[in-house]
Structure 1
Amino acid sequence: MAKVISIGNQSFESIRKDNCFYIDKTSFIKEWWENKDNVTLITRPRRFGKTLNMSMLECFFSNKYKDRGDLFEGLEIWNNEKYRKLQGTYPVIFLSFAGIKQVKYNETVIKIKDELIRIYNEYDYIMKSGIYNANEKMQYQSVCVGMSDTVAQEALKNLSNYLSRYYGKKVIILLDEYDTPMQEAYVNGYWEELVGFTRSLFNSTFKTNPYLERAIMTGITRVSKESIFSDLNNLEIVTTLSTKYETSFGFTEKEVFNALDEQGLPDEKEDVKKWYDGFIFGKQKDIYNPWSIINFLDKKEYNTYWADSSSNGLINNLVQKGSPCIKMMMETLLKEETIDVPINEQIVFSELDYSEDAVWSLMLASGYLKVVSAEPLVGNRRKARKYTLALTNLEIQFMFEDMILRWFSPAKHETNEFIRALISGDIESMNEYMNDVALNTFSSFDSGKHNSERKAPENFFHGFVLGLMVDQTENYIITSNRESGYGRYDIMLEPIDKTNEKYPGIVIEFKVINPRKESSLEETVAAALKQIEDKNYDAEIIKRGVKEENIHHYGFAFRGKEVLIDGR
């Protein structure tokens, strides 16, 4: 009988106690313990089982779960007698920063302190013993509402001291989603302030803590060592490109296919693979997104579960406000092609505003992109390696298509009005819409005012107009920068139904005014239309069955934020 799927349950104890669907990841316990690393940082995309694995570690090691071997019976780790004896034998401090998403620095620090207070309240019974002196009891009580930053930064180290003396064993510290506050700090403009606070907290907890047995931190990104980890030379960093713990987070193909069989869905394997496969950790290919798999098993229908489980706000913001080059590379990815970019695994948030490489690095770490191949690693390289990347799977492609459709669009209705005008040949409405959006939305950088490359603004508008057309895939085959006739057109819309005159063939050419050749936008747009005719861009769709008289030509001419569209 198929087990019940418990959506959103991140408690290992609850899942095991209620006999819910669970894919055995307990081999991670043995692998981590036998690696003997002092402090381990593991980065994986969101919703990849990080919190559940941390809960599993707590249930296994924490003396709060002494004699709770029943939670592990039937799982791989319980076959090893050595580990059966290890279960429930350590004091464990388990805390999470997952819920710390404040927009101001002071509010963020308060939330971190609240998490420390929660942990201290959990263990306040140890202060009733006679092994602590009056000063230590006062120090314990100082971790309270209104505590100073210094008290907070030393709190985990001090608690490690108290617990190790009480239980006669050093402590294990588990910190889940360590980088959530850091991402919020970047988005909301208080990065430098939070770096200072966090560096001191981490240094005290993980570097100068003699009461620490081992520690694990999890997160989405590897924040640059030069920022919050500058003092931690004992840190083992495991990213999505590392070979450690390759199958510990996410589901392997074998695990997914076994689950589909168990849930009575054996015929869905091919489509499930298209939708949710594609993640690569280290050398392990065919890793599936667990959040989407669990939701699919529960609801038995395809949807963008992982993409919809977060606002994707940071990625959306970086791509939307990124350079024309980033937008054109996104277009390449959406055409199911690859891009070649240098990747640096150390995310430096301060570089995201100006470094395209940092944007791709973040997208790879966050799971939106996958590695197709990488250049060989030669010697002791310090520069970033170049990787060939692609969108991870069909779910991510749909997410970005929806995202691009929403860009710069004041309302869905207005976007539809532009598309209707394009198809019907309403030049006046097209001009009104495009100039209104350009004036109110585009930055001067987007439109080329401060860019030395004359092609950059042309590329930007190209990507923007292409994004407006995403929802026309039922009516048109949309292509970009392809050869036809004697050149390469910018955008072509080939009607799927060649006999339906309601949907004409459409060829679009973009041009930025060249003051050396043209004195007005009228001359520029005329040059664009002439290029369509001279280069015979219609040749390709005429060959495919579109009548010549049912093809519309449009020229888009640009000068800064000013746009002129004409057609024939």
Structure 2
Amino acid sequence: MNYLSCADAAKAMGITVRRIQQMCKSGEIPGVFKEGRSWLIPENSVLLEEGEKKKPLPIGVSDFKVATTNYYYVDKTLLIRDFLDTKPLVSLFTRPRRFGKTLNMDMFRAFFEKTQENTSIYFRDKKIWQCGNNYTRHQGQYPVIFLTFKDVKCRTWEDTFQKIGRLISLEFIRHRELETSLVLSSYEKEQYHRLASENANEVDYQMGLQLLSMLLHKHYSKECIIIIDEYDTPIQQGHSCNFYSEIVNFMRNFFSGGLKDNPHLAFGFLTGILRVAKESIFSGMNNLKINSILDESYSEYFGFTKEEVKDMLCYYGKKDKFQEICEWYDGYRFGNTEIFNPWSVINYISDNCFPKAFWQSTGNNEIIGEIIATATPEITEGLYKLLCGEKITTYVDTSVIYPEVQNNPYSIYSFLLVAGYLKVSAVYPQNDGNFMCDVAIPNKEIAFVYEKEILNRTNQNGVSVSISQAVFSGNAQKLQDLLEDFMLRSISSMDGANEGFYHGMMLGLCAVLGNRYRIRSNREAGLGRFDIQLSPLVSGIPGFLFEFKHTKDERVNLAVLADSALQQINEKKYDTGLRNAGVNSIIKIGIAFRGKNAAVKRG
């Protein structure tokens, strides 16, 4: 027998040395032994046969058995171990879309469900099987109810109810062993047939979880596991399509029957984007353990960790792309774990490592448009600051609900965070169980989504290009004409209430310069705080300083006011930071606003 070092084995398997060492320690590679401080690994345990093809990437694959058998699979089975260590009666995992929720829930089903198939074969080479009998004894021992609502995206309540009813009926049909059960009464079988044949009414479907768990418990003499994946997808549709109260009322009764005080329940699992607690969907469920993106528990199991991404790049011979993949798809933080967007990482490698905004096309970004439509000037300015790479400190409520996006503008950042559009840079826990957080855009991919959605929604994209060209050329009169034309066509006479509105508007209009400039807002410099600074990212181009003034007084001469803004830049020495950074050519621009009029002065 020939033996390999960890370095040779890592090269042969296309993964990191550290990962090989972990596999040796956990017993994942058969026949290994330690000689001194080094592991020796049987050659035939790791080497690929000559010419053997790499496994394909699991794009869109959410079936655990298929993913682990036919595709490259990132082992998340220790999620099972961590759950069994605590065994909460009902667990809710909230994560952004396309972060592996459905695949993990199908993994739970494959592990726990009692079937005629020996499903242990899908786990014997996984990390969970190295954890011992205290965990593996649960494998294949429970009846399981599994429902996923990820595709319930109908435009009306009637269609939504019909689709949910059909999904419930299909789950009854999947348990056709109840038809011939020797322990169920004829009445119980009649109840089963009514739900399986889609002859049920709304009350029947609301009691579907309770009924099916009772029948399965009686048939198997074992309490049931209930798994509901993407439970809040129909709720988001209800919010967007004006049947919110109907879907919330249905879900409240549906979950109450199956998950609250149900003697037939062993464990329950739910996944979603939002917690949706305030609508009392989970009213009285003090057995619910919520695992949000800010909690440390289970933080590494949804999305890819840095080591998992490195292993994947090594396997596919793309180690040199790690920096680029970090810039585009890293940046999320769940608990204390740095996380990459798994959907985008997989698509990036599959697409020959050409970076794109893959995540953008996987869901509906209408919520950003809704946010922009209802945002206060302060919130609009904050959104543009995020787009320019700045951080915002905000209160985060992890139980934010969809209607609050319209009714409470300060819930906007909470929603964007839990939905995957923001990352947490720092956390400051509060006594009420929520948090103050520093939030920012996580990576280039999400910056692209923001830029596209915000500029397009506000009809600024083409105008921004023209205005940015006027800024870059330092043409004050052209900039003034373009600004007045833009305001005449785009803003309400009520919008220009304060300087903050114009500040946010200008941040947005400057955003298209983000590939050439670092855009900063309201920062200390010299003897005060400038309004906007454009600091060059490349040498040979000028820097810019903007100062804004606003008045409602018709007697005030805007040109004189713009001159005073320009004078303030000089008197307060706002150019100190740029000059210290080696920027010698600095264009100073003072702008005065009143309603839909502007005056621009260049210094």
* TM-score normalised according to structure 1 size: 0.85
Q: Is the 1:176–1:219 Cα contact (8 Å) retained in structure 2?
A: yes
Name the counterpart of 2:565. 531
Give the secondary structure class of the aligned counterpart of 1:213. Answer: strand
Matches within 5 A, 1:125-164: 125-143=177-195, 144-145=197-198, 147-164=200-217
Aligned to 2:591: 555
After superposing the two structures, state which structure 1 stretch, 224-233 or 53-62, moved more: 224-233
Does residue 300 of structure 2 align to residue 247 of structure 1? yes
1:272 counterpart = 2:325: yes
| 1:94 paired residue number | 146
1:237 is displaced (CA, Å) by: 1.1
Match of 2:506 in 1: 465
The answer as to whether partners of 2:389 and 2:519 remain within 8 angstroms in 1 is no
Number of the residue aligned with 2:334? 281
Q: Secondary structure at the match of 2:337?
A: strand
Alpha-carbon distance between aligned partners in 2 of 1:227 and 1:485, rounded to the nearest angstrom: 53
My pick for the range that moved more, 156-165 or 48-57, is 156-165
| Alignment pair present for 1:205 and 2:258 | yes
Q: Which residue of 2 aligns with 1:54?
A: 105
Q: Deviations over 1:324-358 (max 9, x none)?
A: 22222234334443322222221233322233442
Is this contact kept in 1: 2:231–2:271, CA < 8 A? yes
Partner of 1:7: 59
Instruction: Letter of the 2:445 partner, please give it.
Output: E
Q: Partner of 2:453 in structure 1? A: 403
Q: Percent identity?
A: 33
CA deviations 1:178-197 (Å, max 9, x no partner) are 11112222233332332222
C-alpha distance in structure 1 between counterparts of 2:372 and 2:412, whole Å: 8
1:478-497 aligned within 5 A? 478-482=519-523, 488-493=529-534
Q: 1:248 to 1:331 in 2, by over 3 A?
A: same
Summarize the Cα distance change of 1:44–1:200 in structure 2 as closer, same or farther, 3 Å threshold. Answer: same
Equivalent residue for 2:51?
none
Q: Find out whether 1:107 has 2:159 as its counterpart.
A: yes
- C-alpha distance in 1, partners of 2:270/2:383? 32
* Code of the aligned partner of 2:104: N
- Do residues 312 (structure 1) and 365 (structure 2) align? yes
Instruction: Please tell me whether residue 325 in structure 1 is matched to residue 383 in structure 2.
Output: no
Deviation at 1:473, TM superposition (A): 3.8
1:392 aligns with 2:426: no
Q: Is the contact made by 1:59 and 1:65 (CA closer than 8 Å) also made in structure 2?
A: no
Contact map agreement 1:508 1:556 (CA 8 A) in 2? no
User: What residue number does 1:258 align with?
Assistant: 311
Report the equivalent of 1:451.
none
AA in 2 matched with 1:401: E
Q: Which position in structure 2 is the counterpart of 1:519?
A: 555
3-state DSSP of counterpart to 2:147? strand
Native 8 Å contact 1:529 1:553 kept in 2:
no
Paired residues of 1:12 and 1:52 also in contact (CA < 8 A): yes
- 1:382 aligns to what SS in structure 2? coil
- Matches of 1:216 and 1:545 in 2, distance apart? 56
Q: Aligned partner of 2:594: which letter?
A: F
Aligned length: 543
Report the secondary structure of 1:42's partner residue. strand
Q: Is the 2:464–2:512 contact (alpha carbons within 8 Å) kept by the matching residues of 1?
A: no
Letter in 2 for 1:111: K
Of 320, 343, 367 in structure 1, the residue corresponding to residue 396 of structure 2 is: 343
Report the Cα offset of residue 96 of structure 1: 0.6
Change (3 A) 1:428 1:547: closer
Q: Which residue of 2 aligns with 1:452?
A: none
Of 250-259 and 465-474, more deviation after overlay is shown by 465-474
The Cα shift of 1:499 comes to 7.0
Aligned partner letter, 1:395? E
SS at match of 2:333: strand
Q: Which amino acid aligns with 1:37?
A: P
Deviation per CA, 1:71-126, whole angstroms, max 9, x where unpaired?
A: 12211122334544432222111111111122333332222212112212222452
Specify the alignment match of 1:66 in structure 2. 117
SS for the counterpart of 2:407 is coil
TM normalised by structure 2 equals: 0.80
Q: Which residue of 1 aligns with 2:20?
A: none
Q: What SS does structure 2 have at the residue aligned with 1:347?
A: coil
Counterpart Cα distance in 2 of 1:545 and 1:425: 16
Which of 23, 30, 33 is equivalent to 2:84?
Answer: 33
Contact 1:98 1:180 in 2 (8 A): yes
1:510 counterpart SS class: strand
The alignment status of 1:416 with 2:465, answered yes or no, reads yes
Is the Cα–Cα contact under 8 Å of residues 385 and 521 in structure 2 kept in the other structure?
no
Contact 2:89 2:268 in 1 (8 A): yes
Greater CA drift, 506-515 or 425-434: 425-434
Distance 1:134 1:173 in 2: 25
Q: Which moved more, 1:203-212 or 1:482-491?
A: 482-491
**Cα displacement (A) at 1:17:** 2.3
In the alignment, is the contact (CA less than 8 A) between 2:157 and 2:238 conserved in 1? yes
1:554 Cα deviation after fit: 5.5
Partners of 1:439 and 1:114 lie apart in 2 by 52
Shift of 1:545: 6.2
Cα pair distance change 1:169/1:535, threshold 3 Å: closer
Gaps of 5+ in 1: 449-454
CA separation of 1:497 and 1:526: change in aligned 2, threshold 3 A:
farther
What does residue 121 of structure 1 align with?
Answer: 173
Q: Which amino acid aligns with 2:400?
A: I
